[in-house]
């Protein structure tokens, strides 16, 4: 029927009376398929609303958290010839244990008694410094004695000058007296001569007065000569005083010059002593570099200069070691786009090469055989491949990492970020959006779910 009429007779038909109508229904398999499809659809919708943990996955390798505990090489501090090996590859050695012994190859250090001879040179130079000290002390005493002698000479000559000046005063007084006597004698002679001319005085009196005048004249000349002699003596004493001062000043200056020369020589000897001490200490330290020792408890990984008789340069690697009891960590490399999502202390799950594991990256609680860690450090610059390196240390609150784990082993890390519905994660992956990341007002990381429309860039 075409059902073109508005009056339907569908309700008036009795289906139980017509067996052909039952034969027109769908087979049972189709009904089951319909039920299964409906169930799968409902289950899919339920699964899409299950929580999913967003994560960042990266491959890396095991390393040591402390740079001092990472694989390293031991270098020869000095150039030398390998004379003996005291260890084998793979052997565990303690800090300070001898690894190898080197001998000298430079002719400047062939003397087996080089250190003692250098110390003897230091002692000899120190003795010369003591001799300079004694000489400086003797020159100081000599300068002091000459200054004392100069003062004594000056006092003597000054006393002589003072005596000459007093003597001059006495002679000048005698000269004045001689002048007065001469005037008196001359007056008496002229008076007697006048009286003799008048006949009052005799010739004898006149001659006596004349003789007296000549005697006083002689005394005057004598007094003048004595005064002149005293002046000459005083001048000589003053000249001698100046000569003494000049002479002793010259001697003192020469002694001071010798003293300063000795001081200069002493200072130079002090410098030579320091140089010799440095040289002797260098020789002593160099003798300690003949033995290559372990810087810490470690395993001998590989001898880079095997054999006996090989020569090594200073600073050349001689053996590689792996420190024992190293605190392991994993270095992972992430893309710059994921860097803001990584924070210090963020949890990370690991899968180590050689240890079986069953991993659900979106449901970390269902994963088996994984190991946990936390981010310990993040590089501030990218490497040559444009990735940022992060260091992840073991989580002490979880099961310890395997004892057989070694530095250099491969690892794959999964850093967990945010919990979102599964449908949202699928939608994010299809659109190529980065994982969600939130911070609250206190700067603590929080995990929230946001609607897909808010994640679309406008």
Q: Given this model, what pLDDT does residue 59 score? A: 84
Q: Given this model, what pLDDT does residue 444 score? A: 39
Structure tokens at 215: 């005697």
Instruction: List the strands of the sheet with 92-93, edge to edge.
Output: 72-75, 317-323, 298-303, 92-93
Q: Which residues contact 369 (CB under 8 A, 6 or more apart)?
A: 351, 355, 356, 357, 358, 359
CATH number, span 114-288: 1.10.287
**Torsion, CA 295, CA 299, CA 302, CA 308, rounded to 10:** 70
Q: Are 82 and 104 in contact (CB under 8 A)?
A: no
Q: How many residues in the chain?
A: 458
Task: Please give the Cα distance from 339 to 146 (Å, whole number).
Answer: 87
Task: Please give the Cα distance from 324 to 69 (Å, whole number).
Answer: 8
Task: Please give the Cα distance from 363 to 370 (Å, whole number).
Answer: 12
Q: How far, in whole angstroms, is CA 342 from its chain's centroid?
A: 35
Burial class (CB in 10 A: 0-12, 13-18, 19+), 427: middle
Structure tokens at 219: 């005394």
Pick among 1.10.3760.10, 1.20.120.1630, 1.20.1300.10, 2.40.30.170: CATH of 10-67+327-455: 2.40.30.170
Mean pLDDT in consecutive groups of 10 residues from the start of the chain, 458 residues: 59 59 56 77 78 74 86 90 91 92 87 86 88 90 91 89 86 84 83 80 79 84 86 88 90 90 90 90 88 91 87 90 87 84 83 72 64 87 87 84 83 73 73 59 40 37
Paired strand residues for 98: 293
CA distances for 56 relative to 206, 220, 393, angstroms: 157, 135, 17
Enter the pTM of the model: 0.57
Radius of gyration of the chain from Cα atoms? 61
Q: Given this model, what pLDDT does residue 451 score? A: 38
Task: Please give the Cα distance from 28 to 10 (Å, whole number).
Answer: 25
Number of neighbours of residue 311 by Cβ within 10 angstroms: 14
Gap between the terminal Cα atoms of the chain: 56
Q: How far, in whole angstroms, is CA 315 from its chain's centroid?
A: 21
Task: Please give the Cα distance from 233 to 254 (Å, whole number).
Answer: 31
Task: Please give the Cα distance from 309 to 82 (Å, whole number).
Answer: 5
Residue 366 is classified by DSSP as: G
Strand pairing report for 347-352 and 410-421: antiparallel
Burial class (CB in 10 A: 0-12, 13-18, 19+), 165: middle
Task: Please give the Cα distance from 392 to 344 (Å, whole number).
Answer: 9
Q: Which residue ranges make up each domain of the chain?
A: 10-67+327-455, 71-97+294-323, 114-288
Task: Please give the Cα distance from 381 to 336 (Å, whole number).
Answer: 10
Paired strand residues for 93: 298
Burial class (CB in 10 A: 0-12, 13-18, 19+), 291: middle
Long-range residue pairs from 227-231, CB within 8 A, at least 24 positions apart, any chain:
227/168, 227/171, 227/172, 227/175, 230/164, 230/167, 230/168, 230/171, 231/168
Question: Looking at the domain 71-97+294-323, which fold is it?
Answer: OB fold (Dihydrolipoamide Acetyltransferase, E2P) (2.40.50)
Task: Please give the Cα distance from 258 to 256 (Å, whole number).
Answer: 5
Task: Please give the Cα distance from 322 to 92 (Å, whole number).
Answer: 9
Q: Is the Cα torsion angle 34, 37, 43, 46 positive or negative in sign?
A: negative
Task: Please give the Cα distance from 354 to 323 (Å, whole number).
Answer: 22
DSSP-based three-state secondary structure for 450:
coil
Q: Given this model, what pLDDT does residue 418 score? A: 67
- State the helix-helix crossing angle for 422-431 and 28-48, rounded to 10 degrees: 80
Supply angle C-alpha 37, 423, 373, rounded to 5: 125
Query: Read out DSSP for 190-241?
Result: HHHHHHHHHTSS-HHHHHHHHHHHHHHHHHHHHHHHHHHHHHHHHHHHHHHH
Q: Given this model, what pLDDT does residue 93 score? A: 92
Q: Which helix (H) or strand (E) holds 351?
A: strand 347-352
CA distances for 351 relative to 59, 229, 365, 372, 409, angstroms: 9, 125, 14, 9, 11
């Amino acid at each position: 029927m075409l059902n073109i009429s508005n009056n339907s007779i569908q309700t008036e038909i009795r289906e139980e009376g017509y067996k052909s109508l039952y034969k027109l229904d769908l087979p049972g398999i189709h009904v089951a398929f319909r039920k299964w499809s409906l169930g799968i659809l409902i289950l899919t919708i339920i699964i899409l609303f299950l929580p999913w943990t967003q994560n960042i996955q990266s491959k890396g390798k095991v390393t040591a958290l402390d740079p001092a505990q990472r694989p390293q090489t031991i270098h020869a501090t000095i150039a030398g010839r390998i004379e003996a090996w005291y260890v084998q590859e793979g052997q565990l050695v303690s800090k300070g244990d001898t690894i190898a012994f080197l001998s000298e190859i430079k002719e400047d250090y062939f003397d087996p008694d080089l250190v003692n001879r250098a110390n003897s040179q230091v002692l000899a130079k120190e003795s010369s410094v003591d001799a300079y000290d004694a000489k400086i002390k003797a020159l100081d005493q000599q300068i002091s004695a000459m200054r004392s002698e100069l003062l004594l000479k000056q006092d003597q000559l000054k006393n002589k000058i003072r005596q000459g000046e007093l003597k001059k005063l006495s002679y000048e007084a005698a000269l004045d007296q001689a002048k007065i006597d001469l005037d008196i004698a001359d007056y008496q002679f002229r008076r007697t001569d006048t009286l003799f001319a008048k006949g009052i005085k005799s010739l004898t009196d006149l001659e006596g007065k004349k003789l007296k005048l000549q005697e006083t004249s002689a005394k005057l000349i004598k007094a003048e000569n004595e005064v002149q002699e005293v002046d000459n003596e005083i001048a000589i004493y003053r000249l001698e005083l100046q000569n003494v001062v000049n002479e002793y000043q010259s001697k003192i200056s020469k002694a001071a010059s010798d003293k300063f020369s000795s001081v200069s020589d002493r200072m130079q000897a002090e410098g030579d002593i320091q140089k010799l001490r440095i040289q002797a200490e260098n020789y002593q330290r160099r003798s300690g570099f003949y033995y290559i020792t372990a810087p810490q408890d470690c395993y001998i990984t590989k001898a880079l200069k095997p054999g006996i008789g090989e020569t090594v340069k200073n600073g050349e690697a001689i053996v590689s070691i792996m420190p024992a009891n190293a605190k392991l960590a994993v270095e992972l490399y992430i893309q710059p786009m994921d860097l803001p999502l990584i924070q210090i202390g963020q949890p990370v799950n690991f899968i180590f090469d050689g240890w079986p594991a069953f991993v659900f990256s979106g449901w970390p609680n269902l994963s088996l055989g994984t190991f946990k860690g936390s981010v310990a450090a993040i590089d501030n610059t990218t490497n040559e491949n444009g990735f940022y390196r992060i260091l992840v240390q073991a989580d002490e609150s979880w099961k310890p990492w395997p004892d057989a784990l070694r530095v250099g082993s491969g690892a794959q890390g999964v850093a967990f970020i945010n919990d979102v519905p599964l449908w949202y994660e699928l939608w994010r992956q299809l659109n190529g959006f980065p994982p969600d990341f939130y911070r609250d007002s206190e700067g603590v990381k929080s995990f929230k779910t946001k609607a897909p429309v808010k994640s679309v860039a406008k």
